[in-house]
Amino acid sequence: MVEATRHTDSRARHTVIDTLIKRGRLSPNMRHKYGDFGYEVLIGDCLETLKSLPADSVDCCITSPPYFNLRDYQTGTWDGGNDPDCDHKIPSSELDGKRTGEDLGSSHTIRFNRESCYKCGAKRKDKQIGLEDTFADYIESMVGVMQEVRRVLKPTGTLWLNIGDSYNGSGGAGGDYAKGGLKEGQPKYGGHNDKNLKKKDLMMIPARLAIALQEDGWYLRSDIIWNKPNPMPESVKDRPTQTHEHIFLMSKCPHYYYDGDAIKEPAAQNRWGKKTPMNLDNVKGQVRGLSRERDMMPETRNKRNVWTVNTKPFKGAHFAVFPPELIEPCVLAGSPPSGVVLDPFGGSGTTAGVAIKHGRNAILCELNEDYAALIPKRVETIVGFAETGDVSWI
């Protein structure tokens, strides 16, 4: 792994934000500052809002996009129709035999009234990613977004992409929605069968997406495993419970900014005791003497690519949230101090909170205005204090 020259010139700290303010593309009431650092939220379809950012202007992108075929983020709207009071839902009694009697909440609005309402004829409009008809369509959507991300990243920039997998025909995110789950009481997506795969197939979305991004020009540098010690239980009886997700570290160019020292971890205790056997003759299988003292061993080591971090709910969020501890290494290693971190799928705003906490600025994109309203509270809980009230970035 290569570490590029660190950029710490404070004069360039707010270049991206200032440029957008001068262009009139940022709403003053969405400007948030915490001391010397802050974040901005761009409301709308990220594929469009990313186009408002200058090329080669962002230091790092850290994001977790909507996973394919897992949940509906309730961003769809209805246009037209002959009944303005229609709820656009299909009663369970009118579904096919496999669905009859099942309480699908609001999720069947997506799956069974995907393009138009069979009751009133209204057309559905929804720009959210994750509800595509096939995994191939989902991959294509993601590649398109990441092309814009690559455009706005500096040549030294990196992408940290968190993505999980799903099963073909599954009814959503399993135990997350059970009593006590991370998303108890939240809208559940009704599931979908991709005809290109067999029902019950693990879809291998992370691998497919990583390969597609490689083929599109990204450098795939690491496949980091997020190990969850507290996964939600699953009711399945014919496979192990899913307990991990992926974080792909990708770069725009072969040489990029990476501060490995900032995320080094404590070295494992010497398993040989106070002294370590050393092969003085460098002959395989032979050990002569006990020579190296433990206090001569390094106290830290390069961070490994399996990260064990507990999942943590955020009260009020209607979607999955990053644990701050998960993305702290991404912020510290992937962006220079005073740099700008981008999250095109802003969600609850965890990326912004962690960035500000560690002396960076952030730009978030969020499709749903209601979700964006939750971001200030989330950022405040991470940063540890409320906004300063000074909305000037200059």
Report CA-CA distances (Å) from 123 to 75, 81, 116, 141, 370.
14, 7, 4, 21, 22
pLDDT score recorded for residue 4:
46
Residue span of the structural domain in which 287 resides: 267-301
389 within some domain:
no
List the chain residues with pLDDT less than 70.
1-30, 69-79, 87-116, 118, 123-128, 130, 170-192, 269-296, 314-320, 389-394
Name the token pair of 232. 């939600």
Q: How much is the pTM?
A: 0.77
4 within some domain:
no
> CA angle 190-316-334, nearest 5°?
90
5 within some domain:
no
29 within some domain:
yes
CA distance 67 to 210: 14
pLDDT score recorded for residue 38:
92
| Residue 205 sits in the same domain as residue 252 | yes
CA atoms within 13 A on the CB side of 262: 16
Token pair 């209204």 in the structure block, residue: 122
> CA angle 293-298-303, nearest 5°?
145
How far apart, in Å, do the first and last CA atoms of the chain sit?
Answer: 35
392 within some domain:
no
Axis-axis angle for helices 324-334, 350-357 (nearest 10): 50
Instruction: Give phi and psi for 42, each to the nearest 5.
Output: -100, 110
| Residue 250 sits in the same domain as residue 203 | yes
Give pLDDT tens digits for 148-188: 999 999 999 999 999 999 888 765 444 455 554 444 444 55
| Residue 276 sits in the same domain as residue 146 | no
- E strands present in 149-227: 153-163, 219-227
- Number of compact structural domains in the chain: 3
Among 125, 146, 164, the domain boundary falls at: 125
Helix, strand, or coil (residue 4) = coil
Instruction: Give phi and psi for 197, each to the nearest 5.
Output: -130, 160
State the CATH number of the domain containing residue 334: 3.40.50.150
326 within some domain:
yes
Chain center to CA of 124? 26
> CA angle 223-313-179, nearest 5°?
115
